[in-house]
Amino acid sequence: MQHLNLDDLGQYSDVVLSRSGAAVTVRFVELADADALQAYFRGLSVRSRYNRLMGAASELPAAQLDKFIHVGEADSFSVVATVSRDGSETIVGEARYAFDEATSRFELGLSVADSMQGQGIGVALMSNLECRAAALGADQLFGDTLRSNEAMLALARKAGFTFAPTPGDWKQVRFVKQIDTVPTANPCAVWRLAAQSLQPILA
């Protein structure tokens, strides 16, 4: 497993492209992002927030927000997708993932701001998460979503996931993907750093 330097999270930033070719930065959440991240969640439509949090909530509950901004605690990580607007950074998406080293499984959840949906950011974010999972040494990616969440189901299908029942919850479905190849298509700083650290071993 690659060990991240939590004192220098900026080095793990990536730039992915929306369908129109617009640059979207994917970077770890930092403590200073707390207000902007909460504003992002408050700004989601009721439906998007319900789908993301799998329940009714007007914002990210305080305990969860605290977990989101403490990257690396309990092997859980949050990233934000941001664009530059008039010189300032705006959050247009987020994802949270957890890596279980014992099972080599990587669990994920994500969202994209309503005004930015349908532009290929979700699929680019998924691809970047796959890359981050591979860098951590994961064999399998998975997430759970509501059965009624057609957009997430379609996104997962498009990203090559298969489906299985979510244990213990008939309202949800699990999307699953094995990682059997090294992802190369999308830029991913975490993966590049992991590959670099392998160089002496491979040489």
Ligand X SMILES: CC(C)(COP(=O)(O)OP(=O)(O)OC[C@H]1O[C@@H](n2cnc3c(N)ncnc32)[C@H](O)[C@@H]1OP(=O)(O)O)[C@@H](O)C(=O)NCCC(=O)NCCS
Nearer to ligand X, 24 or 69 (CB): 24
As a residue count, the chain comes to: 203
The Cα 120–Cα 73 span in angstroms is 30
Nearer to ligand X, 65 or 152 (CB): 152
Nearer to ligand X, 128 or 189 (CB): 128
Nearer to ligand X, 111 or 134 (CB): 111
Residue number closest to ligand X, CB atom: 122
Least distance in angstroms from the C-beta of 11 to ligand X: 26
Q: By the criterion CB under 6 A, which residues form the site for ligand X?
A: 48, 51-52, 109-112, 117-123, 143, 145, 149-152, 154-155, 158
Least distance in angstroms from the C-beta of 198 to ligand X: 31
Nearer to ligand X, 118 or 160 (CB): 118
Least distance in angstroms from the C-beta of 158 to ligand X: 4
Least distance in angstroms from the C-beta of 196 to ligand X: 29
> Cα–Cα distances in Å, from 154 out to 59, 148, 151?
25, 11, 5
The Cα 104–Cα 136 span in angstroms is 9
Nearer to ligand X, 141 or 190 (CB): 141
Least distance in angstroms from the C-beta of 47 to ligand X: 7
Least distance in angstroms from the C-beta of 18 to ligand X: 8
